[in-house]
Chains A and B, each alone.
Chain A
Amino acid sequence: MSDEDEIILAELNDEDLVQQMFDDLYDGLREEIEEGVNILIGRGWAPYDVLTKALVGGMTIVGADFRDGILFVPEVLLAANAMKGGMAILKPLLAETGAPRVGKMVIGTVKGDIHDIGKNLVSMMMEGAGFEVVDLGINNSVEKYLEAMETEGPDILGMSALLTTTMPYMKVVIDTMVEQGIRDDYIVLVGGAPLNEEFGKAIGADAYCRDAAVAVETAKEWVSRKHNSAKA
């Protein structure tokens, strides 16, 4: 750490600053991200532009490298934590300026499953992509999922299970949604280490997402498809 390496964020022009924020997100540097967000806002950037051009742009790189096996969970958690720092500044500003909403997701691990690492990653990456996320935490019964869908009105329901012993519970939730005639009101995404695409299809989910990066891509795709079909 010599003085020569010291980068003064405020001295960078907009383009270089955004590039530097991409790198800082990648390296999980929360304070630097908060500083970068404040500088851009100070320069008159719209909060929505800071979110999509700086934070979402940076998290997209993190997501791609996670998907490709270059980054792993600890690095991604640090990056997501840095992003959260930036989001905390942006959130009230976004609400004030009435920025467009990308989509909303209710997410939680199923009954019996405490393993929330994957679910947390998905939450953070979804927020990083501009989605609003309602996190139900761990160990959710079918009743809890249904209640949250009723009160929150999300576009997407996300379920996660990490154990062979808990993954069948996803089908219990989906079957109940079918029974109540609300299955098609939501996009249902499932994920977790023991799952695969065929399993996702067999239990009646819309898609299985291999990791958090894929979850974001899939969510975007399905939400835009839903919007298009609503217009048609």
Chain B
Amino acid sequence: MSNPLTDLLAEKGTLLADGATGTNLFNMGLMSGDAPEMWNTDEPQNIIKLYKGAVESGSDIFLTNSFGANASRLKLHGAEKRAHELSRVSAELAREVADTAGRKVIVAGSVGPTGEIMEPVGPLTHALAVEMFHETADGLKAGGADVGWLETISAPEEYRAAAEGFKLAGLDWVGTMSFDTAGRTMMGMTSAAMVDMVHELENMPLAYGANCGTGASDVLRTVLGFAAKGMPTPIVSKGNAGIPKYVEGHIHYDGTPELMADYAELARNCGASIIGGCCGTMPEHLVHMRAALDSRPKGDAPSLEQIVEALGPFSSASDGTDGEGPVRAPRRGRRGSKTS
């Protein structure tokens, strides 16, 4: 089945995605604690400016301002009934920017986590999670998104629930997880385990990968972990522009545009074909990433040592895929024990 994203990927080989949403909106005056999604209707000119920032910097794909546009997240702001509407409007504004860009640009409808822990450990049921994802996906589709774009997911259960939500909405999708805890997701999933999970889904994503996390080096190690599984599905790499710091009342990420250019080049060499930034990645970073992808040739996959040399150290010694990580101490026998 054809989709604008897969078509453009086939045409160009590598696609540049976008950068940060939150960091950019703060710079436009968004107050901490407020829901960025409200600006879709309250300050649409700022959202258009955000989108244009990515498109004019050379992004082939940009994400809509709908990361938290699900019932569970919006409930905080007493706006749980607006999940569909705010998702739709985020995509409508994006559609307009993409259609007047003068080249092919993909509108990816951002879908973030619900923020709740799913059963059996937490309270959120599978059915309710699917319903929330379905609602957001429906809104994004109605607004004209080319694909749904699930991001920053930690729990495999939530990823699977989103896959069902996208299926119900009839929206093609891409899904990335955040590997921020000793090289795994917060829930303990390794890069290799994610590849297995993705390829067992009934409604498989067009592409899968990693976003956010803890710095550029870690994301690339994760991408190497994906690529090692040898599956043909395109891999997404969207890493943060370094580490957040607090400078004069603002959050500032310490990754320079030059560093992000090197990151983009290395991400492609590691096996990613959709490459972008996440928190802290501003238009200036994207311009440098675009130039790097366009001007530098694709090379061999770097070793872990080469990644550290270029982008800095990893946050943990192992990411759990090399069998070298720490292991639990031997335990006694136990009836009904789940883990021994």
Closest to A117 in B: B117
User: A19 to B169, alpha carbons, bound, how many Å?
Assistant: 52
Question: Which of the residues A23, A72, A165 comes within 8 Å of B334, measured between beta carbons?
Answer: A23
Confirm or deny: A203 has a beta carbon within 8 angstroms of a beta carbon on chain B. Answer: yes
Confirm or deny: B337 has a beta carbon within 8 angstroms of a beta carbon on chain A. Answer: yes
Task: Tally A residues with Cβ within 8 Å of B.
Answer: 52
A172 touches B326 (CB 8 A): no
Confirm or deny: B121 has a beta carbon within 8 angstroms of a beta carbon on chain A. Answer: yes
- Give the distance to chain A from B210, nearest Cβ to Cβ, in Å: 14
Confirm or deny: A73 has a beta carbon within 8 angstroms of a beta carbon on chain B. Answer: yes
Residues of B within 8 A of A111 (CB): 32-33
Residues of B within 8 A of A193 (CB): 178, 180, 186
- Give the distance to chain A from B120, nearest Cβ to Cβ, in Å: 9
Chain B 57-92 interface mask (CB, 8 Å, partner A; 1/0): 000000000000000110111000000000000000
Interface set, chain B 170-199, CB cutoff 8 A to A: 178, 180-184, 186-188
Interface set, chain B 212-253, CB cutoff 8 A to A: 243-247, 249-251
Confirm or deny: A92 has a beta carbon within 8 angstroms of a beta carbon on chain B. Answer: no
Residues of A within 8 A of B187 (CB): 72-74
Q: Say which one of B19-27, B129-137, B289-297 lies at the interface with A.
A: B19-27
Question: Which of the residues B72, B180, B243, B251 comes within 8 Å of A114, measured between beta carbons?
Answer: B72
Report whether over half of chain A's contact residues are helix, strand or loop; otherwise say mixed: loop
**Which of B25, B117, B184 has the most A CB atoms < 10 Å from its CB?**
B117
A166 touches B32 (CB 8 A): yes
Confirm or deny: B2 has a beta carbon within 8 angstroms of a beta carbon on chain A. Answer: no
A69 touches B327 (CB 8 A): no
- Give the distance to chain A from B278, nearest Cβ to Cβ, in Å: 9
Q: Say which one of A1-9, A94-102, A216-224 lies at the interface with B.
A: A1-9
Closest to B328 in A: A70
Interface set, chain A 181-232, CB cutoff 8 A to B: 193-196, 198-199, 202-203
B334 touches A75 (CB 8 A): no
Confirm or deny: B332 has a beta carbon within 8 angstroms of a beta carbon on chain A. Answer: yes
Confirm or deny: A46 has a beta carbon within 8 angstroms of a beta carbon on chain B. Answer: no
Confirm or deny: A68 has a beta carbon within 8 angstroms of a beta carbon on chain B. Answer: yes
B186 touches A164 (CB 8 A): no
**Which of B77, B279, B333 has the most A CB atoms < 10 Å from its CB?**
B333
Chain B 107-142 interface mask (CB, 8 Å, partner A; 1/0): 000000101110001100000000000000000000
Given A72-B187, A164-B22: A1 and B244 within 8 A (CB)?
no
A69 touches B122 (CB 8 A): no
Chain A 28-44 interface mask (CB, 8 Å, partner B; 1/0): 11001000000000000
B32 touches A167 (CB 8 A): yes
User: A124 to B334, alpha carbons, bound, how many Å?
Assistant: 24
B339 touches A75 (CB 8 A): yes
Given A164-B251, A194-B244: A73 and B186 within 8 A (CB)?
yes
A77 touches B122 (CB 8 A): yes
Number of chain B interface residues as a range:
35 or more
Confirm or deny: A148 has a beta carbon within 8 angstroms of a beta carbon on chain B. Answer: no
Residues of B within 8 A of A60 (CB): none
A115 touches B115 (CB 8 A): yes
Given A23-B334, A69-B184, A164-B279: A114 and B33 within 8 A (CB)?
no
- Give the distance to chain B from A147, nearest Cβ to Cβ, in Å: 17
Residues of A within 8 A of B328 (CB): 26, 65, 70-71
Residues of B within 8 A of A113 (CB): 33
User: A23 to B35, alpha carbons, bound, how many Å?
Assistant: 43
- Give the distance to chain B from A75, nearest Cβ to Cβ, in Å: 7
Given A73-B186, A168-B251, A193-B186: A198 and B338 within 8 A (CB)?
no
User: A7 to B333, alpha carbons, bound, how many Å?
Assistant: 8
B20 touches A164 (CB 8 A): yes
**Which of A116, A164, A196, A198 has the most B CB atoms < 10 Å from its CB?**
A164
Residues of A within 8 A of B121 (CB): 73-74, 77-78
Q: Provide 10 A-B residue pairs closer than 8 Å at the C-beta atoms, listed in order of the A residue.
A: A20-B332, A27-B334, A65-B328, A68-B326, A112-B33, A114-B72, A165-B32, A165-B36, A168-B26, A202-B245
* B-to-A contact residues, CB < 8 Å: 20, 22-23, 25-26, 30, 32-36, 72-73, 75-77, 113, 115-117, 121-122, 154, 178, 180-184, 186-188, 243-247, 249-251, 279-280, 316, 318, 320, 325-328, 331-340
Beyond known contacts A7-B332, A72-B184: 20 more, CB 8 A cutoff? A5-B333, A6-B335, A7-B334, A23-B332, A27-B331, A27-B337, A71-B188, A72-B187, A73-B154, A73-B187, A75-B188, A110-B33, A114-B75, A114-B76, A116-B115, A164-B279, A164-B280, A166-B33, A167-B32, A172-B33
Q: Which 3 A-B pairs have the closest CB atoms?
A: A72-B188, A69-B182, A111-B33
